[in-house]
């Protein structure tokens, strides 16, 4: 059938474009992920949504399509924490692996998933490799107290293809928001908690509305350069969601911490891995905002599985 009928609705500019109902959005995204839409249609879709912006109803439909096609992981013995890591390090070291390992130290199974979307940034995968954590080769159960990394291509190749459109167009598209809310664990298999992050306030509102609409369990915060980890220099607002119902867990701190943590001087993967080992080994303190994030995640997990 193609997606041209949907392009006519979403592609009329910021003023003339209309939103798609959830089922139409799911059908559109499904065709894009399955590769039945042409490259020209996919490019038009990406630009149209970039201009129009996604509604929560459309994002919910896009997620429906993603979840229907994901390579789902088996349930773990405890609720799984899902950390989407797609932005990497720009000016600050990427500390998503540190967050993952701090949670694993508390007996939590943690899945980090992602792919490099910009060649110039150091990714969580790079740091995890330095820490001896290799990418999964197949979907499998994540043991309690361990961290695993799943490449996006393992979970859903069509989604990685859509992310790669950025390399051609030079612009982010709907996939970059989708990956921060998708859940690789089937709801019928077990419980999970998604740690979603945003970079701009408008995304906070749209992501919160999508989480509410889909009834997910999640923690939402303004992350570090788009990563799902609190900025180690200041404490951001953190909101929890239980079956889509919001719960304010942390108010944002005004300004920087009184005492700034010692951080690596570079974003290099080896330097970041060495810093991570030093924190885990007690040689350096856990940055206060990240320690609070760990506490809030553990609090939500206790609510999910008392």
Is the CB of residue 244 less than 8 Å from the CB of residue 268?
no
- Based on the fold, state whether residues 54 and 106 are members of the same structural domain: no
Q: Domain boundary at 49, 69, 89, which?
A: 69
Q: How do residues 146-158 score in pLDDT, each as one tens digit?
A: 999 999 999 999 9
Last residue of a domain, one of 69, 96, 118: 69
Mean pLDDT confidence for 237-250: 96
- Has residue 74 been placed in a domain? no
In a domain, 122, yes or no: yes
* Arithmetic mean of pLDDT, 260-287: 94
CA distances to 194, 205, 215, 248, 304 from 242, rounded to whole Å, are: 11, 17, 7, 11, 7
Same domain? 102 vs 232:
yes
Q: What is the mean pLDDT of residues 204-213?
A: 95
Domain range for 171: 80-304
Q: Give residue-wise pLDDT tens across range 290-306.
A: 999 999 999 999 999 87
User: Which of 39, 69, 99 is the last residue in one of the domains?
Assistant: 69
48-93: per-residue pLDDT in tens? 999 999 999 999 999 999 999 999 998 888 999 999 999 888 889 9
- What's the pLDDT tens digit per position in 179-203? 999 999 866 567 999 999 998 888 8
Residue bearing tokens 């980090």: 112
Examine residue 134 and state whether it is found in any structural domain, yes or no.
Answer: yes
**Is the same domain home to 86 and 170?**
yes
Residue 96 included in any domain: yes
Predicted local confidence at residue 260, as pLDDT:
75
Does the residue 192 lie in any domain?
Answer: yes
Q: Clarify whether residues 143 and 22 are in a common domain.
A: no
pTM score above 0.85: yes
- Distance separating alpha carbons of residues 296 and 233, to the nearest angstrom: 18
> Region 94-116: what's the mean pLDDT?
96
**CATH code for the domain of 54:** 1.20.970.10
pLDDT at 117 over 80: no
Q: Judge if 64 and 86 occupy the same domain.
A: no
Lowest mean pLDDT among 101-110, 167-176, 221-230, 231-240: 167-176
Q: What is the 3-state secondary structure (H, E, C) of the chain?
A: CCCHHHHHHHCCHHHHCCCCCHHHHHHHHHHHHHCCCCHHHHHHHHHHHHHHCCCHHHHHHHHHHHHHHCCCECCCCCCEEEEECCCCECCCCCCHHHHHHHHHHCCCCEEEEECCCCCCCECHHHHHHHCCCCECCCCCCCCCCCEEEEEHHHHCHHHHHHHHHHHHHCCCCHHHHHCCCCCCECCCCCCEEEEEEECCHHHHHHHHHHHHHHCCCEEEEECECCECCCCCCCCCCEEEEECCEEEEEECCCCCCCCCCCCCCCCCCHHHHHHHHHHHHCCCCCCCHHHHHHHHHHHHHHHHHCC
Report pLDDT digits (tens) over 38-51: 999 999 999 999 99
> Does position 255 have pLDDT exceeding 80, yes or no?
no
- The gap from C-alpha 127 to its chain's centroid, in whole angstroms, comes to 17
What pLDDT is attached to residue 67?
Answer: 95
Average pLDDT of the residues of the chain: 92
Tell the burial category of 220 from Cβ atoms under 10 Å away from its Cβ (0-12, 13-18, 19+): buried
Query: 105: which 2 tokens?
Result: 């130290």
Give, to the nearest 10 degrees, the angle between helix 288-304 and helix 96-105: 50
Say whether both 191 and 42 belong to one domain: no
Does 119 score more than 80 pLDDT?
no
| 168 and 128 together in one domain | yes
Residue 37 lies in a domain: yes
Judge whether 144 lies within some domain.
yes
Domain containing residue 274: CATH number: 3.40.1030.10
- Per-residue pLDDT reduced to its tens digit, 13-37: 878 899 999 999 999 999 999 999 9
| Residues 32 and 143 reside in one and the same domain | no
Residues 98 and 50 in one domain: no
Same domain assignment for residues 59 and 89? no
Q: Are residues 118 and 24 in the same domain?
A: no
Q: Do both 155 and 49 map to the same domain?
A: no
Predicted pLDDT of residue 187: 64
Q: Please tell me the predicted confidence (pLDDT) of residue 89.
A: 83
pLDDT of residue 200: 82
Domain tally, the chain: 2
Mean pLDDT in residue range 231-241: 94
Query: Is 75 a domain residue?
Result: no
Inform me whether the pLDDT recorded for 176 exceeds 80: yes
Residue 169 pLDDT level (bands cut at 50, 70, 90): confident
């Amino acid at each position: 059938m193609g997606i041209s009928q949907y392009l006519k609705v979403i592609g009329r500019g910021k003023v003339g474009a209309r939103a798609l109902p959830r089922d139409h959005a799911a059908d559109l995204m499904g065709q894009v992920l399955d590769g039945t839409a042409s490259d020209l249609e996919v490019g038009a879709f990406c630009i149209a949504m970039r201009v129009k912006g996604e509604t929560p109803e459309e994002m919910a439909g896009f997620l429906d399509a993603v979840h229907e096609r994901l390579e789902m992981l088996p349930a773990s013995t405890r609720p799984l924490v899902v950390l989407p890591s797609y932005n990497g390090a720009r000016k600050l070291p990427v500390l998503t692996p540190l967050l993952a390992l701090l949670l694993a130290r508390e007996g939590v199974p943690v899945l980090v998933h992602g792919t490099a979307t910009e060649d110039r940034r150091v990714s969580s995968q790079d740091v995890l490799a330095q820490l001896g954590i290799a990418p999964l080769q197949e979907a499998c159960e994540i043991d309690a107290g361990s961290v695993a990394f799943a490449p996006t291509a393992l979970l859903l190749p069509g989604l990685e293809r859509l992310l790669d459109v950025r390399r051609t167009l030079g612009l982010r598209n709907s996939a970059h928001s989708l990956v921060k809310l998708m859940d690789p664990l089937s709801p019928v298999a077990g419980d999970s908690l998604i740690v979603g992050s945003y970079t701009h306030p408008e995304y906070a509102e749209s992501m919160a509305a999508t989480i509410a609409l889909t009834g997910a369990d999640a923690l939402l915060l303004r992350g570090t350069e788009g990563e799902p980890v609190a900025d180690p220099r200041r404490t951001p607002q953190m909101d929890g969601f239980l079956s889509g119902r919001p719960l304010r867990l942390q108010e944002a701190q005004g300004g920087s911490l009184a005492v700034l943590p010692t951080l690596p001087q570079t974003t290099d993967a080896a330097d970041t891995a060495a810093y991570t080992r030093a924190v885990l080994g007690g040689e350096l303190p856990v940055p206060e905002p990240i320690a609070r994030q760990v506490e809030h995640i553990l609090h939500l997990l206790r609510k999910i599985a008392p």
